[in-house]
Amino acid sequence: MKKLMLVFLMAVALHAGDDKGLTGQFYQNLPETVRTGYASGFVNGYLQGQFFAADVIHRASLNGNLQHTVVAKMTGDVLSGMLCLGSGTVTNGQMAAILDKYIADHPESWDKPLSDLAKNAFIDACEKRAKKP
């Protein structure tokens, strides 16, 4: 089973450059373990990208290339969104459940790229979480 999942994840990674094939419909047909892996990998990758972007903004400000008010705004914008999912309290299964529910609740978007659906699902979840901590 582990070899099968590894082969599948490698195929998805190679296919990721052409995101048109990875849709909500495609996601729904995946086994639970693969959906869980996709959801947690998406969140972790997204957060790593956000922290990297914030670091780049910070370094540019240290070099005097950006004004402090611009840096604060840009850093806040970059780190908003899915930051609540990086708290360490949200499990991989919970991330998959969030994405599963979002896709199930939005059948009009099943033909959309999976990355767009995942981003919308997790940002929506964090916004809801912020309203009810």
CB 111 within 8 A of CB 24: yes
**CA-to-CA separations, 83 to 19, 62, 104, 129, in angstroms, rounded:** 24, 24, 23, 11
- Residue 50: is its pLDDT beyond 50? yes
pLDDT category at 56 given cuts 50, 70, 90 is confident
- Residue 125: is its pLDDT beyond 60? yes
- At residue 23, what is the residue type? T
- Residue 122: is its pLDDT beyond 80? yes
User: CA 55, CA 72: separation in Å to the nearest integer?
Assistant: 12
Nearest by Cα to 112 from 27, 14, 15: 27
Helix 32-62 / helix 114-131 crossing angle, nearest 10 deg: 80
pLDDT of residue 89: 79
- In a 3-state reduction of DSSP, which class is residue 88? coil
Q: Tens digit of pLDDT for each residue in 82-121?
A: 667 776 778 999 999 999 999 999 999 999 999 999 999 9
Residue 104 has a CB neighbour count (10 Å cut-off) of 11
Of the two residues 105 and 43, the one the predictor is more confident about is 105
pLDDT of residue 8: 46
- Residue 30: is its pLDDT beyond 50? yes
CA torsion sign, 64 to 65 to 67 to 73? negative
